[in-house]
Chain A
């Protein structure tokens, strides 16, 4: 086990040495700002490997000794076997390494398929595996489309578990295809996350964080806030100030230091987001902030402006469907029961944020939200020791030090009878 630990730590070290190169590759491939790749995402890849490498030595299992019946019971764990890992294009290397690290930490081997839209850093990671001395065949990567490569992985009889992050629709297809094989499934899927804004918050200090939860990564995160539910007492003030602060989120080239958010991932995805914006123009009120600072060299990029939607029906597709772009709906509410109902009204249940200065309200409302993670006065804070995973159509299973161990190992109970010493 300590040999595995050393290799994982070596992988982490080599990623760390090559942060600049990997960040550049990630931003060229995905469009996210270079500062984001360099300061946030690639360092988290390092952390993923170190975390799972070093938590191995602190893990233990239950044992029960029954003196009257003369039995010793204990748990033995083994790796599952070959794991199929399928990852998306929004946080490419971060989400891939978050699955690879525990899979191989616990002794499994892997066949991985990164998204065909963003395979560059995954490919680069493979030479890092060789440099770190990871034995041949422990991690294998096959590049291509989901319909061919992904489906082949899901249906392969020797690939016993599938860990997937992506859309709810694809997750559903995977669940169907894997069902006859009784494969283990970890599915991390979409969200339509609500931010609940109560009238006791200090807008001046909190607004930037709330806006970041909408716009970070151009809204292309399963955890992005896409519905802001604001107490009617401060609704108008909130909308005005939110529109103002949104102007700070400069859309531009990933390598421009002023850029806060980048383009959409692809032509297709841009078209999809623009369709929702068009719908907003017809059925609601929309404030659209054009991207102003696009250079000549970016004229063929997939840039989308910011869309802030109000006067929208609660059951509109804009309020129910995952858009995955810099698009947000802001609606008022009157009381706690109403906002809880509104927050829980979609088929998703990934995360939510509550913004209030009242401890009582925070403690009372947070458990009522049907979401795997509820953040209070913050967003995207992630401790790898806490379970992460969506409710309803947002996910199947959790990930964390303990939960990932459950998924990436199989356990058995050994029960041994002691001979009578009389």
Chain B
């Protein structure tokens, strides 16, 4: 998704919306971490200081989900 805006010099440039990063567990992208209330992490584009991506502020509960998925997958892989 992108948004076209005009800057002070009236030059057109495209400003991309921040990418929403989602945990990838058991082959699925999970829209929210186990505890979404903890919030998101901002990741910046170092060449201009703008927000480039938003990450889930995951914790041990997400790791537990992932580890269980990995354990189950290991049996069959």
Contacts and interface: CB of A to CB of B under 8 A. Distances in A.
Contact of A143 (B21, B45, B47, B64): B21
Given A109-B77, A140-B26, A149-B58, A119 B53 contact: yes
Contacts of A159: 67, 70
Contacts of A152: 59-60, 62-64
Contact of A298 (B24, B47, B64, B73): B47
Nearest to B22: A123
A111 B47 contact: no
Interface in A249-275: 253-254, 262-267
A321 interface: no
Contacts of B67: 82, 111, 140, 156, 158-159
B38 to A, nearest CB: 9
A118 B42 CA distance: 11
Interface residues of B, number: 43
Given A29-B53, A79-B74, A120-B52, A136 B27 contact: yes
Contact of B71 (A158, A297, A301): A158
Given A28-B45, A156-B64, A266-B46, A144 B73 contact: no
A224 B69 CA distance: 38
B73 A262 contact: no
Interface string B33-77: 100000001011111111011011111101110110111111011
A158 B70 CA distance: 9
A109 B47 contact: no
A140 B41 CA distance: 19
Contact of B77 (A29, A138, A143): A138
A109 B73 contact: yes
B74 A144 contact: no
A120 B69 contact: no
Residue from B53, B60, B66 having most chain A Cβ neighbours under 10 A: B66
A110 B21 CA distance: 18
B48 A298 contact: yes
Given A82-B74, A108-B74, A137 B53 contact: no
B47 A301 contact: yes
Interface string A110-122: 1100001111100
Contact of B46 (A30, A81, A129, A139): A30
A122 B22 CA distance: 11
B25 A265 contact: no
Contacts of A265: 46
Given A116-B43, A266-B46, A301-B48, A82 B24 contact: no
B46 A263 contact: yes
B26 A136 contact: yes
A302 B49 contact: yes
Contacts of A126: 24, 29
A67 interface: no
Contacts of A30: 46
B17 interface: no
B21 A119 contact: yes
Contacts of B45: 28-29, 31, 301
Contacts of B60: 148, 152
B56 A111 contact: no
B41 A144 contact: yes
Contacts of A372: none
B77 A144 contact: no
Nearest to B42: A116
Contacts of A123: 19, 21-22, 24, 53
A300 B48 contact: yes
Residue from A29, A81, A149, A302 having most chain B Cβ neighbours under 10 A: A149
A7 to B, nearest CB: 10
Nearest to A82: B70
Interface in A298-319: 298-302
Interface of B: 13, 16, 19, 21-29, 33, 41, 43-50, 52-53, 55-60, 62-64, 66-67, 69-74, 76-77
- Nearest first, the 7 closest Cβ-Cβ pairs linking A and B are A137-B73, A136-B27, A300-B49, A31-B46, A144-B58, A152-B63, A126-B24
Given A120-B52, A149-B63, 19 more contacts: A28-B16, A109-B70, A111-B66, A116-B41, A119-B43, A119-B55, A120-B43, A120-B53, A123-B24, A140-B26, A140-B69, A142-B66, A148-B60, A149-B58, A149-B59, A156-B67, A298-B47, A298-B48, A300-B49
